[in-house]
Structure 1
Amino acid sequence: MKNFINYRAFSLACVALAVMSSCSSSDDTEEVIPINSSPYVTKVLDYSPAVGQFINMLPKYESGDTREKMIQKAQAAVSGAKGSGVSLGGFGGYIVMGFDHTIANVEGLRDFRVLGNAFWASSNPNASAAERGGSSEPGVIMVAYDRNKNGQPDADEWYEIAGSEHQNPKTIKNYEITYTKPDPNKAATSDPLATWATDIEYIYWSDNQGNSGYKTKNSFHTQSYYPEWNTADQISFKGTLLPNNAADESGNGNYWVQYSFAYGYADNVPNKDDESAIDIAWAVDQAGNRVNLPGVDFIKIYTGTNQESGAVGEISTEVFGIEDLHLLKQSIPTRN
């Protein structure tokens, strides 16, 4: 977690006509786009963060807030051109967003941009580092086309955007993690070598790979890191676990660098970087096969890693919104 900074069957003619309609899909349907469609998120269908140092803060939890209320707050935080942002917490924490139209899948171009708060490091003690790095907290992106037009992303409509790490042997599919609600009466465990930490055994977690550990609480954020509107003693998340991307380049815990992946993830690179833009054609099914979607109506983003970065905290994806690049008339070529 970085310190929070608010920061294919289509022709190219479809872009010019995007305000009127999208192009026909492989099932011969036609998506009519209202003239006054917004290029930004217009609704949040679900917000279920994992644990993290900005949970209950972004958006702000107030006593008595329900799940429905927090979804409303998340919607206010990611809608429009300049969202205030939400934090998804550790691995698996997610948000599901929708639009007032179908974002078209245009051949040869990237279709939407996920807005985060990633940034590049001004320096790096490791002069030989090859990757671009700084504060990168990659989130896995799922997309859904509302084929049955029921206004909801059904379970069989979700597909994963296959980013650069999809075939990485260190990537774990069907990863599952469970977080246990912390006992407020438990005595904190300190570490004299980690003066920034107030409890190094704060929130217990275990996964389906036989691993377990604790999420640390730091002195910079004193509120509960467990979503307070969730009354369950445990919360679980399942998805694709990306490889660890953070490294202590100082060798003594004083300078962590979170390296970006090449492409295909949220909050992975700064918003002005072309690699923050996504091509719907990268979507794959559970078997890893490419799917030919005419467009997408819903986008789900969840934190893709399970790693801590010393005093910087847990790696957790932040989302500020999504842009329909075609309605904004931004032409970004896809990767070859």
Structure 2
Amino acid sequence: MQKRINPLPVLVVAVGMLSFPFATFAQPLNPPWADAVVSANAIDPVPGFTDPSKALGKPVGGGVYAPDQSSVYSIGRPGPAPGSFITLAFNTPIENHPENPNGLDFIIYTNAFWVGGKPNVRWSEPGLVEISEDVNGNGIPDDSWYVIPGSRNTNRSALPQGIPNPYPPLAGVVTNPNLDGTEYDWGYMGMSPTVQEYLDNYMRPDDPFTVGLTDGSGGGDAFDISWAVDEDGNPANLERIHFVRVNAFINDSLDPFGYVTPEIVAVSAVAPDNDTDGDGIRDAYELRVSGTDPYRSESTVLALERPIEYGGSPAGTLLGDACDPTGNRIVFYSSGIRSGYRDYNCNVDIQVHALAPSGGVPDGLIKSGACREFIAGQPDFQAAQIQDAQFTIAYTTAEIVGLDESKLEPVRFTGTSYTREGVSGITRDMVNNLLTFRSRYPGVFLLISEAGMGDETPGQSAITLLAEPDCATADGISDVTFVSEPIILPDETPAPAGMLFTVTVAPETLATIVTPDADAETPGLQTAAAADSRITFTLRSTTLSGQASVRAASLDEATVGQVAYTFLAGNPVGPVPIYPLNPNATAPGPIHFSTDILYDEHDNVLENDRLITILVDGGRCMNADAAPDTPGHQLRVTQGRAYFSVIADTDVKTTDTAQVRVRLYADAEMTLAIADAVFVFDILAMPMRWLVLCVLLLAMTGAGRLFYACNPCAKRGTP
């Protein structure tokens, strides 16, 4: 029988005359990552990446298009004994668990990437993996070691001197020869990219037998302990392991890129496929990483951003929600591209309190019995670079006895009293006894109101809102007019002329309501129904882009309509810096470039899939035209930047350098210049096989998105 463990100890804090509990999250004692470096030896590692402790702890990923190099250890190349290797130890053994997805037990994360964004073309520097169980229990890897031979059936005789790069190649730019969506190579580390952290993805394995990224996984190369064999090729039959050793075994030089030197980021145990509370987070992750409760769906992990591989996080994207069994809820929305050092996940929880902390409330209003604590690992959602969190309090009839239900509002406890600070966007669903609002801060919230009749539950009907135009620019002057369909009330009668409806927009930073208030004495901005039972109102964009929620509701909240509306960034403005992504790029290339982040005149970041025009002198752009029917050569914006590759024109008979000029424009007519840069590169007589291969790979990126991940030329100096 499985023993229930509650990972949410309670910290009791004295609040006034009341000892009030505030929940905190436990720090797990048995994380799934490697705990110690037992030993390491590196022959000719990449300079600057020689700290083996980088392989400890949680993975750090940049995505399938380009790796994050901040936590990389270069294992080195094969050579004289003992060769190049790293041995890692795990305090909690990795189990050969039958409930692990596809039987996979651990994942090795590296800095591999997809060349040109194509999942069947990868930059790979593989390592041979060995595993061992601490049978004698002395904490030292002095028991038998077993090799995982991989798809090429590589045995320990390849170590320490290594073997040549086989055919089809295992190292370098590796094209999968299979045409049926299955992987040709598996069972080695260094084959698959590491994705940015997202929920519990670092404990979810990528399917090593299928091309592409398994939904929800963090990438990396996954292994089954059952693949291990002894010196004679017989199954090792291990039930668990305590040590993992990764060896360099391809002894080859990839001209002009240098030696094959595997690089490692981290190793993780796989989480068994158990999710007891159905919150989408594996139980093992909640117990071993987040410290949330795997038995309560409201105690969970929400994302603060979504990687581009999973669709990205444009402003207004739903990042996640947590709900308890009674309907109390926490919802996160994106405010657009985040930057700088930041967390990617946030622990949350919801607690229902029978008693509220003592303290005064604004305007002498009356306290209800509805007190909820919304707990989050981020103390300030704006500082976390997301929208103010959306909280919903599900109240009961007994909790609002003697109060006016139509005027319920939330206030936040400060430690001594209650405040409206940071609270906005209040909506009331009196039919279902739900009050929803936005707050910049988590904490303890209490519903208050005037005296009234308590729970009055009318019927409810919907308002259909239509917008013209479909989307607008966040320029501070663009107007959007919303017109409803004829409104039918819950009693099935048309809304009478003059009936008031409250109009709100959230977040308020995206738009202002410019329609005059039809009743200044009623809280909020009111618009009146016309003779045809329609309402009309106009919003004006601010200078902040994103997705707004526009809502209209009758004063009794019995008739409600809501629609999402997007305010787009304007044209990008210059000057925009352009820089090569190959540190020591040479002509003819391919030479990979990136712009800096593209902003409009109001500092909004351009959304994904926006188009800019490129013009290259002294070379040619190798990206496919993203919009062939539009004049000029178009590039798509990805995560606020434009990535492109150029083959430089070379004439070694007359000069040993090549000059490339790159110009970028905000429009197809090339009237709005945003960048103009000239680069000079030394000409390198590239071996014909590599030049042809690179050109072919670039030509294969027909989707129009050639990312800067195609970067094998950066090998020396950047792993």
Question: What TM-score bracket applies, with the shorter chain setting the length?
Answer: 0.5 to 0.7
Aligned equivalents of 1:18, 1:277: Cα separation in 2: 29
What TM-score do the two structures reach when normalised by structure 2? Answer: 0.27
Instruction: Identify, as 1 or 2, the structure richer in strand.
Output: 2
Please state if 1:257 is matched with 2:173: yes
Is the 2:149–2:155 contact (alpha carbons within 8 Å) kept by the matching residues of 1? no
Aligned equivalents of 2:3, 2:133: Cα separation in 1: 20
Q: 2:74 maps to what in 1?
A: 87
Please state if 1:174 is matched with 2:157: yes
Aligned equivalents of 1:18, 1:151: Cα separation in 2: 29
Please state if 1:140 is matched with 2:128: yes
Task: Give unmatched runs, 5+ long, in structure 2.
Answer: 7-27, 61-70, 177-183, 196-205, 209-220, 273-280, 285-719
Aligned equivalents of 1:113, 1:245: Cα separation in 2: 24
1:203-258 CA deviation, whole Å, 9 max, x = no partner? Answer: xxxxxxxxxxxxxxxxxxxxxxxxxxxxxxxxxx356777366499xxxxxxx623
Is the 2:147–2:156 contact (alpha carbons within 8 Å) kept by the matching residues of 1? no
Shift of residue 18, structure 1, vs aligned partner: 12
Match among 100, 106, 113 for residue 112 of structure 1: 106
SS of residue in 1 equivalent to 2:30: coil
Q: 2:327 maps to what in 1?
A: none
Match among 130, 140, 144 for residue 152 of structure 1: 140
Is the 1:95–1:300 contact (alpha carbons within 8 Å) kept by the matching residues of 2? yes
Shift in alpha-carbon separation, 1:242–1:104, aligned structure 2, 3 A: farther
Aligned equivalents of 1:269, 1:298: Cα separation in 2: 22
1:280-315 CA deviation, whole Å, 9 max, x = no partner? Answer: 010100100011111110000011211111122111
Aligned equivalents of 1:113, 1:269: Cα separation in 2: 10
C-alpha RMSD of matched pairs (Å): 3.4
Aligned equivalents of 2:136, 2:31: Cα separation in 1: 22
Q: 1:319 maps to what in 2?
A: 264
Aligned equivalents of 1:282, 1:289: Cα separation in 2: 10
Identity %: 27
Shift of residue 330, structure 1, vs aligned partner: 9.1
Shift in alpha-carbon separation, 1:240–1:150, aligned structure 2, 3 A: farther
Structure ranking higher on relative contact order (CA contacts 8 Å, 6+ apart): 1
Aligned equivalents of 2:117, 2:109: Cα separation in 1: 24
Is the 2:124–2:170 contact (alpha carbons within 8 Å) kept by the matching residues of 1? no
Match among 253, 261, 267 for residue 308 of structure 1: 253
Moved over 6 A (4+): 16-20, 239-242
Q: Which residue identity lines up with residue 48 of structure 2 in the other structure?
A: M
Number of equivalences = 210
Aligned equivalents of 1:105, 1:58: Cα separation in 2: 32
SS of residue in 1 equivalent to 2:131: strand
Is the 1:18–1:326 contact (alpha carbons within 8 Å) kept by the matching residues of 2? no
Shift of residue 174, structure 1, vs aligned partner: 1.6
Please state if 1:45 is matched with 2:38: yes
Aligned equivalents of 2:150, 2:132: Cα separation in 1: 16
Is the 2:75–2:85 contact (alpha carbons within 8 Å) kept by the matching residues of 1? yes
Q: Which residue identity lines up with residue 147 of structure 1 in the other structure?
A: V
Shift in alpha-carbon separation, 1:89–1:17, aligned structure 2, 3 A: farther
Q: 2:437 maps to what in 1?
A: none
Q: Which residue identity lines up with residue 110 of structure 2 in the other structure?
A: G
Q: 2:150 maps to what in 1?
A: 163
Is the 2:95–2:239 contact (alpha carbons within 8 Å) kept by the matching residues of 1? yes
Is the 2:163–2:251 contact (alpha carbons within 8 Å) kept by the matching residues of 1? no
Shift in alpha-carbon separation, 1:153–1:17, aligned structure 2, 3 A: farther
Which structure has the larger Rg over C-alpha atoms? 2
Is the 1:175–1:241 contact (alpha carbons within 8 Å) kept by the matching residues of 2? no
Q: Which residue identity lines up with residue 95 of structure 2 in the other structure?
A: A
Shift in alpha-carbon separation, 1:241–1:290, aligned structure 2, 3 A: farther
Please state if 1:101 is matched with 2:92: yes
Task: Give unmatched runs, 5+ long, in structure 1.
Answer: 1-12, 21-34, 60-72, 125-130, 177-236, 249-255, 332-336
Q: How does 1:45-84 map to 2 (within 5 A)?
A: 45-52=38-45, 54=46, 56-59=47-50, 73-75=51-53, 77-82=54-59, 84=71
Shift in alpha-carbon separation, 1:110–1:310, aligned structure 2, 3 A: same
Is the 2:165–2:252 contact (alpha carbons within 8 Å) kept by the matching residues of 1? no
Shift in alpha-carbon separation, 1:50–1:134, aligned structure 2, 3 A: same
Is the 1:173–1:241 contact (alpha carbons within 8 Å) kept by the matching residues of 2? no
Shift of residue 135, structure 1, vs aligned partner: 0.8
Q: 1:283 maps to what in 2?
A: 228
Shift of residue 123, structure 1, vs aligned partner: 7.4
Q: 1:206 maps to what in 2?
A: none
Aligned equivalents of 2:132, 2:163: Cα separation in 1: 17
Shift in alpha-carbon separation, 1:239–1:101, aligned structure 2, 3 A: farther
1:26-71 CA deviation, whole Å, 9 max, x = no partner? Answer: xxxxxxxxx621110110011101224x1x4212xxxxxxxxxxxx
Aligned equivalents of 2:144, 2:36: Cα separation in 1: 18
What TM-score do the two structures reach when normalised by structure 1? Answer: 0.55
Aligned equivalents of 2:269, 2:108: Cα separation in 1: 9
Is the 1:96–1:300 contact (alpha carbons within 8 Å) kept by the matching residues of 2? yes
